[in-house]
């Protein structure tokens, strides 16, 4: 996505469930069970409980494997593997579970289309404890020549159908300030393409293009579900063409000290395919900010050059928009050729200072009748990922 921006290093914001004193981006990511003592940080209760029960908590161990297709990952060597990528490589076919012990896993990981119905579990059941992170950007040079591009920058890539993740942080800690010579500043924490991909109590940390909720092809309408998750970033940090439901999620916009004026960035940049009747649905969430009031736009439509027939779709309903969102003009264009007014943007019963309707033509609203079709069930059909253990 063509969005050249070059800010200085940004302070990492706190996560949606627990407010803590701010650390630098890398300090925040590495303040996990393996490094907390070195940084002088107190261990979270979840970490202490996990330590008492072993690195894998209530989720078994190599000596007490829950199922034959459960593998245990621990950077300290107490599992089957010390890295997530090696554990994924050891799985073949469908139905594998990875239980990840607390730690920072600095690596890139890809789950290809053959490894379906996979589940990854953060053993401590606190997403701050298990962090999968790397620092490639779109403009980062590849060892064999060329650059990674937006897709290639992803720390984690999920192509397989039926993926579920619980209590894990997916992050990209590439910083523009460290690489002033690189103009391709997109740095994806995770790219998700599989159908029936579910994330419960996860965090997604980055700056530009943090969460790439996509599909594998234009004619494939991949369904994704994010519940009780936390996402932070600055430019288009939730983007792609998936049919995605974000339920009770917290989105946080980061501050920018390099820009003289707003907008600092954009929360959503959907690129929904024209034939797809269902794009992004945000329900019962919150959008907060550590930036000045009105510094951020709620969304802009992404109509990529590979699909100029796209009609981006976003519905934000029953959600609190804090003052960081520009209430007067919450939407803007990514390209003048595809004005946001021609896309499928709507709101319903939102609250907070960023949701005030001062210029009605800039805030398209659903009617009560239309809102009856803007639900998780309508978006996801016969797939009900909110049921069962979370």
Residue from 126, 135, 161, 209 carrying the catalytic annotation = 209
**20 pLDDT exceeds 70?**
no
CA-closest candidate to residue 191, choices 209, 174, 176: 209
Tokens for 186, please give them.
């997109």
Any catalytic annotation for residue 322? Answer: no
Going by C-beta distance under 8 Å and a sequence separation of 6 or more, which residues neighbour residue 118? 91, 94, 95, 96, 97, 98, 111, 160, 162, 163, 164
Q: List C-alpha distances in Å: 43 to 28, 39, 316.
A: 14, 11, 36
**28 pLDDT exceeds 80?**
no
CA distance 213 to 237: 10
The three-class DSSP label of residue 66 is: coil
pLDDT digits (tens, 9 = 90+) for 35-45: 333 223 233 44
Per-residue model confidence (pLDDT) at position 167: 98
Residue from 129, 195, 214, 236 carrying the catalytic annotation = 236
CA distance 370 to 140: 44
**272 pLDDT exceeds 60?**
yes
Lowest average pLDDT, out of 50-59, 90-99, 239-248, goes to: 50-59
Per-residue model confidence (pLDDT) at position 33: 35
Per-residue model confidence (pLDDT) at position 173: 98
- Cβ distance 179 to 137 under 8 Å? yes
Any catalytic annotation for residue 236? Answer: yes
* Prediction pTM value: 0.89
CA distance 54 to 123: 10
Q: Which helix (H) or strand (E) holds 45?
A: helix 45-53
Going by C-beta distance under 8 Å and a sequence separation of 6 or more, which residues neighbour residue 143? none
pLDDT digits (tens, 9 = 90+) for 129-160: 999 999 999 999 999 999 999 999 999 999 99
Sheet with 320-321, edge to edge strand ranges: 103-106, 130-134, 169-172, 203-205, 230-233, 250-253, 286-289, 320-321
Output Rg (C-alpha) for the chain, integer angstroms: 20
- First-to-last C-alpha distance (Å) of the chain: 34
């Amino acid at each position: 996505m063509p969005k050249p921006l070059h800010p200085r290093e940004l302070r990492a914001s706190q996560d949606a469930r627990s407010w803590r004193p701010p650390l630098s981006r890398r300090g925040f990511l590495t303040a996990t069970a393996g490094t907390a003592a070195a940084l002088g940080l107190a261990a979270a209760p979840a970490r202490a409980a996990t330590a008492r029960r072993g690195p894998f908590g209530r989720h078994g161990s190599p000596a007490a494997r829950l199922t034959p297709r459960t593998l245990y990952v621990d950077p300290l060597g107490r599992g089957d593997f010390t890295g997530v990528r090696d554990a994924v490589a050891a799985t073949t076919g469908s139905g594998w579970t990875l239980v990840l012990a607390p730690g920072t896993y600095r690596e890139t990981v890809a789950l290809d289309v053959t490894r379906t119905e996979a589940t990854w579990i953060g053993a401590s059941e606190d997403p701050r404890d298990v962090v999968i992170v790397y620092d490639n950007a779109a403009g980062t040079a590849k060892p064999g020549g060329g650059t990674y591009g937006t897709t290639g920058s992803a720390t984690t890539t999920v192509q397989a159908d039926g993926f579920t993740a619980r209590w894990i942080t997916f992050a990209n800690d590439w910083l523009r300030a460290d690489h002033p010579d690189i103009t391709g500043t997109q740095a994806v924490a995770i790219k998700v393409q599989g159908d029936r991909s579910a994330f419960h109590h996860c965090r997604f940390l980055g700056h530009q293009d943090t969460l790439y909720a996509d599909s594998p092809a234009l004619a494939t309408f991949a369904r994704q579900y994010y519940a009780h998750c936390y996402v932070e970033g600055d430019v288009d940090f939730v983007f792609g063409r998936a049919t995605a439901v974000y339920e009770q999620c917290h989105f946080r916009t980061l501050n920018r000290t390099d820009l003289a004026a707003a907008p600092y960035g954009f929360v959503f940049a959907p690129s929904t395919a024209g034939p797809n009747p269902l794009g992004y649905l945000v329900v019962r969430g919150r959008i907060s900010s550590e930036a000045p009031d009105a510094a951020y736009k709620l969304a802009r439509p992404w109509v990529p050059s590979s699909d100029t027939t796209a009609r981006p779709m976003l519905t934000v309903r029953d959600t609190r928009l804090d003052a960081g969102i520009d209430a007067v003009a919450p939407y803007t264009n990514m390209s003048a050729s595809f004005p946001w007014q021609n896309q499928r943007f709507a709101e319903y019963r939102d609250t907070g200072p960023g949701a005030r309707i001062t210029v009605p033509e800039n805030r398209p609203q659903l009617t009560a009748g239309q809102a009856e079709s803007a639900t998780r069930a309508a978006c996801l059909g016969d797939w009900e990922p909110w049921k069962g253990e979370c």
